[in-house]
Structures are given as structure tokens and as C-alpha cells.
């Protein structure tokens, strides 16, 4: 195993990559809505994403196999602890409304992984057919509603349209994962590929991406550059869904698919630099 591959695996497994994806969506929201948010807010989102994802992925391992944890997992624990400390510091600097919503989203994340004291379902993740929508809800609220509240703006129709648009995109982001795990997921999870098959799942994904593009025309003012940005992310995501199979490696989903928000933000930065030149 090469050093580069070990670093890439750690980058993905420690949830740094997915945290950058969430952060990219937040920055894109700020760009589109012309929000004014302090850097400490983006630090909170980044740290919260690492803490939340690592908690969901590794809670069971840390609880039951602490003494036998590998060095890699111990480093991931260290990243999680440092992120939790960063989140605690940044949380105190947020607006009260942002703190309340972030706490609520954190509670959902907690219940997503932790048994709720009843036999069935054991946690939110085990409820059949809702996992993908819980993730979309948390991502959309985190990357749209939170930046708006932190900027002390009142939520309006324009913001809720963006929430819906972001939720559609996040649902489609999850489809390659569900397709890859079709033979691994338990049947009671009732994922879209389990219920509808891979072909129909992809068709639904294309339809949701089409709806995400159409929502641009329901916003108060049509902006060509903003439309091109949405179209770019939708086109890239549609191509990734098209090529999704059960045999794709985890790098295809955990790296390339989750890179879509990051690539979109890079495009925005490039376009901004061109406009200023």
C-alpha cells in the first residue's frame, strides 16, 4: 500500500472529504444568496460534519472494540475529538437560532445511530425506506437554512425553494451509494434499488435532477451564471449516476460522487476570478 493511498483512505475514512462537501454546499448557499457569515460559522459546519459522520460510522466500534482498535481508527478518533473541541468553541459564537437548529440536527444524527430503547426500529437508520430522506433533510437544513439564520435573515420562499432544490440533489448524491450496496443492505431497509431496481432508481434520480434545474425558474430573479452552476452540478451528478453499478469501488462513491459540491465550488471560484479579471 503506497503512502498516497494510505493518505487518501485516511482522508475519506476520517470524513474530512464529506465534511468539505457539506462545507462547499454552505459556501455555495452564501454565494447564491449573498449572505454575510463569519468564518467561525463555516468552521462550526466543518467540525460538526466530521463529528457527526464519524459518530455514525464508528460509534459501535469505539464502544465495543476500543481495546482492539487499529492505529488507523485511533487516528480517526483523534480527528473526531479535535473536531468536537473545535465545534464546541465555534458553537458558542453562533447566533442563538443557529445554535438551536444545529442542536436539533445533531439530535437527529444521534438518533440516526443510537438505539431508541425499542426493539423495532433500533434507530432512525433502521426504519425502512427513510434513511435517504433523513440524510437529505439534514444536509439541506445544514447547508441552506443554517447559513440564512446565521446571517440573521428571515426565511422566505426563495430560501425554501433552495432547500428543496438542495434536498433533491442530495437524494441523488446518495443513489450511487445505495446502488453499490444493493447486495449488502438488509432487506428491511427498503432502499430505492431494493424496491425499484437499479434502472428505475436511476430514472428517479434523473427526474429529481431535472426538477432541481426547473426550480431555478421559480426563483424571484433568474440568474444565468447561477443557472450554469446548478446545471454543471446536475450534469456531473447525472453522469455519475448513469455509470453507477454494484461493482463500483468505494472510491467512486465516497470520493468522486461526494466531490460534486467541491467541484461546483471550484467552478464558482474560477468564474468569479474570470469576472474580476
So what's the pLDDT on residue 182?
87
Contact (Cβ atoms closer than 8 angstroms) between residue 184 and residue 123: no
**Predicted local distance difference test score (pLDDT) of residue 116:** 65
**Grid coordinates of 142:** 445544514
CA distance 253 to 249: 7
Q: Is the pLDDT confidence value at 28 over 90? A: yes
**How sure is the predictor about 19, in pLDDT bands with cuts at 50, 70 and 90?**
very high
State mean pLDDT over 165-172.
97
Say yes or no to pLDDT of 230 above 50. Answer: yes
Arithmetic mean of pLDDT, 44-69: 76
Residue 262 clears pLDDT 60, i.e. is over it: yes
For residue 64, what pLDDT is reported? 43
Burial class (CB in 10 A: 0-12, 13-18, 19+), 234: buried
Q: What is the mean pLDDT of residues 117-125?
A: 62
Q: Give the DSSP letter of residue 37.
A: -
Query: 15 — alpha (psi -120 to 50), left (phi > 0) or beta?
Result: left
Assess contact for 116 and 122: CB atoms under 8 A: yes
Does position 121 have pLDDT exceeding 80, yes or no?
A: no
Q: Residue 224: its pLDDT value, please? A: 83
Average predicted confidence (pLDDT) for the chain: 89
53-66 as b/e, with b when 16 or more CB fall inside 10 Å?
bbbbbbeeebeeee
CA 274 to mean position of chain CA atoms: 29
Residue 185's pLDDT band, with cuts at 50, 70 and 90, is confident
Question: CA 90 to CA 149: how far, in whole Å?
Answer: 15
pLDDT, position 114: 78
Confidence class of residue 223 from pLDDT cuts 50, 70 and 90?
confident
The rounded percent of the chain whose pLDDT value lies above 70 is: 92
User: How many folded domains does the chain comprise?
Assistant: 1
Average pLDDT of the residues in 70-84: 88
All three cell numbers of 2: 503506497
Contact status, residue 227 vs residue 216, Cβ threshold 8 Å: yes
In the predicted structure, residue 151 carries a pLDDT above the cut 80: yes
What residues have CB less than 8 Å from 169, skipping those under 6 apart?
208, 209, 212, 233, 234, 237
Domain that holds residue 86: 3-276
Q: What is the pTM of this model?
A: 0.92
- Sign of the C-alpha dihedral computed for residues 182, 188, 191 and 192 taken in this order: positive
| pLDDT > 60? residue 62 | no
SS3 65: coil
**pLDDT of 60:** 57
pLDDT of residue 119: 55
Average pLDDT over residues 266-271: 91
Amino acid at each position: 500500500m503506497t503512502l498516497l493511498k494510505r493518505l487518501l483512505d485516511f482522508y475519506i475514512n476520517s470524513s474530512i472529504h464529506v465534511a468539505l462537501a457539506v462545507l462547499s454546499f454552505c459556501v455555495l448557499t452564501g454565494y447564491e444568496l449573498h449572505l454575510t457569515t463569519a468564518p467561525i460559522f463555516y468552521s462550526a459546519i466543518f467540525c460538526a460534519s466530521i463529528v457527526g459522520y464519524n459518530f455514525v460510522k464508528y460509534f459501535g466500534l469505539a464502544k465495543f472494540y476500543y481495546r482492539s482498535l487499529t492505529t488507523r481508527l485511533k487516528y480517526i478518533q483523534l480527528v473526531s475529538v479535535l473536531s468536537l473541541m473545535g465545534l464546541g468553541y465555534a458553537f458558542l459564537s453562533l447566533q442563538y437560532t443557529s445554535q438551536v437548529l444545529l442542536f436539533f440536527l445533531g439530535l437527529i444524527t444521534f438518533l440516526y445511530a443510537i438505539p431508541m430503547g425499542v426493539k423495532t426500529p433500533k434507530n432512525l437508520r433502521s426504519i425502512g425506506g427513510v434513511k435517504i430522506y433523513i440524510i437529505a433533510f439534514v444536509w439541506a437544513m445544514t447547508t441552506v437554512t443554517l447559513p440564512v439564520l446565521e446571517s440573521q435573515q428571515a426565511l422566505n420562499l426563495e430560501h425554501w425553494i433552495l432547500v428543496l432544490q438542495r434536498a433533491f440533489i442530495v437524494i441523488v448524491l446518495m443513489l450511487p451509494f445505495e446502488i453499490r450496496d444493493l447486495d449488502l443492505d438488509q432487506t428491511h431497509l427498503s432502499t430505492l434499488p431494493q424496491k425499484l431496481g437499479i434502472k428505475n432508481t436511476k430514472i428517479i434520480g434523473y427526474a429529481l435532477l431535472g426538477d432541481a434545474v426547473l426550480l431555478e425558474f421559480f426563483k424571484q430573479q433568474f440568474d444565468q451564471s447561477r443557472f450554469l452552476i446548478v446545471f454543471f452540478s446536475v450534469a456531473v451528478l447525472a453522469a455519475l449516476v448513469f455509470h453507477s453499478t454494484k461493482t463500483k469501488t468505494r472510491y467512486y462513491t465516497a470520493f468522486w460522487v461526494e466531490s460534486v459540491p467541491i467541484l461546483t465550488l471550484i467552478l464558482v471560484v474560477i468564474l468569479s476570478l474570470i469576472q474580476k479579471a
